[in-house]
Structure 1
Amino acid sequence: MQCQWCEEESARISQSTVYWELPDGTRAIEITETPTITCDICGMLYQEESLIDELEDHLMLINTKTLPKCMTYQALMAEPKLLKRNYFRF
């Protein structure tokens, strides 16, 4: 897999902990076991754009008031949606 930062072919899929600000801006949560691209050459850890979009859309569709301070990526994505889709994305 090619690293988006250094373009070397040493990137691999892993998991990491990320911190994400909730859409209402009231707080951030810790999301563990988040799918991550890791490059051993340049040391970058990053999430693919599609995962970022999926995560941000999901946060717009769930009740974020009840989220704990820390949860796994899978648990977050399993939170029930209040809306069928993000009507705010253009």
Structure 2
Amino acid sequence: MKCDWCESENVSQVSKTVYWELPDGTRAIEIGETPGIKCSSCGMEYQTEGVIEEIEEQLLLIDTTKLHKQITYKDLMAQPRLLKRNYFKFD
């Protein structure tokens, strides 16, 4: 695995707290224990595109009005979906 920013191989997987704006823009939530990458060479800490897409899709498909200000990544991904999948994603 390489760092997306500096391409160093000196990276490790971490779990971090991130803050995410809801798709409707009404508020942001804190998502704890979110999988991420930390690069020891350049110091960047970030989520992979796959994790970002998972969070964004889940937030589009669940009833976000029922979410509290804080939730873990695991609990967010376990929320019941209103739709089975994102029908607007064509790739």
**How does 1:15-30 map onto structure 2 within 5 Å?**
15-30=15-30
- Counterparts of 2:87 and 2:23, CA distance in 1: 14
Which residue does 2:11 correspond to in 1? 11
Correspondence 1:84 to 2:70: no
Which residue does 2:73 correspond to in 1? 73
Q: CA deviation at 1:40?
A: 1.1
Q: CA deviation at 1:42?
A: 0.7
SS in structure 2 at match of 1:34: strand
Identity %: 61
Q: Which runs of 4+ in 1 moved over 2 A?
A: none
Correspondence 1:47 to 2:27: no
Which residue does 1:36 correspond to in 2? 36
Letter of the aligned partner of 2:50 in structure 1? Answer: S
Corresponding residue pairs, total: 90
- Counterparts of 1:9 and 1:85, CA distance in 2: 34
Q: Tell me the C-alpha RMSD between the 2 structures.
A: 0.8
Structure 2, unmatched stretches of 5+, are: none
